[in-house]
């Protein structure tokens, strides 16, 4: 497992004093700093409204930061969004894709959008098989897919983009245990290929299973960030609850 800063050079994803205050005055992200290195899975844990999705949206330049910067491969996502986004793949919570397209047609479109023109039908099929979608469903329209199958399709799109960094927004939400397990195995294989993975999740168990670094977020701040090795032997759920309780107490005081 490659998961230490010293061994991996420049971070692929980096948040530097990243803040976001929305127009309604809500401070969704408050001077957040973190780095995700090649071959590392960085899990952001936290409840609803903790700022996890906001952080991902800032990396994707879907919103503008109030202050600070989000970097992908050292490129500012805000100042050079197109250049930065060429280096990142994204899998959302509810992968909907185009319901009237088949899996192959969806893949074909997103692969071409990602700038990969050399991908043939065989390559697309190979990736679909890799994520666990059998041949007989490759030409079925996505509106007949289950959530788990759509999620696999989303992962296939991210794999085909072959970007050095991957952003995952609640990727295991709503998946059954088998699909969740398959997903974690896929994530591990991607990490082993050297991808830097930033994952936002509520799922403490999956996070403990796959993450190299765990950050707990609350009210737009990272209130705890530890390497998985440091957390080994500890009950992550316990730690999460303690930190959340402690932080809430601090906030209340």
Partner 1 sequence: MLGTLIQKELRAIILSPKFTATFAVCSVLLLLSVFIGIREYKQTVAQHETAVQLADQRIQEISSWHGMRDKTYRKPDPLQILVSGLTYDIGRWSSIDSRSTVKLKNSAFSDDPIFAVFRFVDFAFIVQIVFSLFAILFTFDAVNGERENGTLRLVFSNAVPRAKYIIGKCLGSWLGLVVPICIPIALSLLMINIFGVPMTAGEWGRVALLVALSLLYVTLFVVMGVFVSSLTKRSSVSFLLSLVVWVLLVLIIPRGGVLAAGQLASVPRLAEIEGLRDGHAKNLWSQHRKEMEERFLARHDAREERDDDDMWAEMKFEDSARKDVQIQIEAYEVRLMEDWDRRKATQQRLALTLSRFSPAAAYQLAAQTLAGTDLSLKPRNEEAMRTYRKEFNQYVDEKQAEGGHVGGIQISIGSDEGMKITTSRDNAGLDIDDRPRYTLPQQQLAAVIQPAVTDFGLLAFGTILLFAGAFVSFLRYDLR
**From CA 203, how far away is CA 155, in angstroms rounded?**
18
Stretch that binds partner 1, among 39-47, 89-97, 174-182, 221-229 (CB under 8 A): 89-97
Binding mask 36-65 for partner 1 (x = CB under 8 A): ---------------------x--xxxx--
**From CA 98, how far away is CA 154, in angstroms rounded?**
11
Alpha-carbon distance values, 53 to 82, 121, 159, 201, 225 (Å): 20, 33, 21, 9, 17
Give the nearest distance from C-beta 249 to partner 1 in angstroms: 32
Q: Is 174 in the site for partner 1 (CB under 8 A)?
A: no
**Residue 25: left (phi > 0), alpha (psi -120 to 50), or beta?**
left
**From CA 197, how far away is CA 90, in angstroms rounded?**
10
Q: Is 95 in the site for partner 1 (CB under 8 A)?
A: yes
Q: Is 121 in the site for partner 1 (CB under 8 A)?
A: no
Q: Is 164 in the site for partner 1 (CB under 8 A)?
A: no
Give the nearest distance from C-beta 113 to partner 1 in angstroms: 5
Q: Quick one: tokens of 20?
A: 């976001």
CB-count exposure of residue 192 (10 Å: 0-12, 13-18, 19+): exposed
Q: Is 92 in the site for partner 1 (CB under 8 A)?
A: yes
Using CB under 8 A, list all residues that contact partner 1: 57, 60-63, 81-83, 85-86, 88-90, 92, 94-101, 105, 109-110, 112-115, 141, 154, 157, 161, 167
């Amino acid at each position: 497992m490659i998961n230490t800063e010293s061994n991996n050079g420049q971070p692929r994803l980096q948040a530097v004093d990243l803040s976001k205050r929305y127009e309604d005055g809500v401070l969704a992200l408050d001077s957040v700093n973190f780095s995700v290195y090649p071959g590392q899975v960085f899990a952001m844990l936290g409840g609803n409204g903790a700022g996890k999705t906001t952080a991902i949206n800032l990396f994707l330049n879907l919103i503008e930061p109030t202050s600070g910067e989000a970097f992908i491969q050292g490129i500012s996502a805000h100042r050079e969004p197109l250049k930065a986004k060429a280096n990142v793949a994204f899998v959302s919570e509810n992968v909907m894709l185009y319901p009237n397209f088949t899996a192959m047609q969806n893949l074909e479109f997103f692969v071409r959008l990602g700038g990969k023109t050399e991908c043939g039908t065989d390559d697309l099929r190979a990736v679909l098989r890799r994520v666990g979608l059998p041949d007989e469903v490759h030409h079925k329209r996505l509106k007949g897919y289950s959530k788990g199958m759509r999620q696999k399709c989303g992962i296939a799109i991210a794999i085909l983009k072959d970007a050095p960094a991957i952003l995952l927004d609640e990727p295991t939400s709503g998946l059954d245990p088998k699909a969740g397990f398959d997903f974690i195995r896929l994530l591990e294989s991607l990490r082993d290929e050297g991808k830097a993975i930033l994952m936002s999740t509520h799922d403490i168990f999956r996070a403990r299973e796959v993450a190299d670094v765990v950050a707990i977020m609350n009210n737009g701040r990272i209130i705890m960030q530890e390497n998985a090795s440091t957390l080994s032997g500890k009950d992550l759920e316990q730690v999460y609850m303690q930190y959340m309780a402690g932080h809430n107490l601090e906030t209340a005081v």
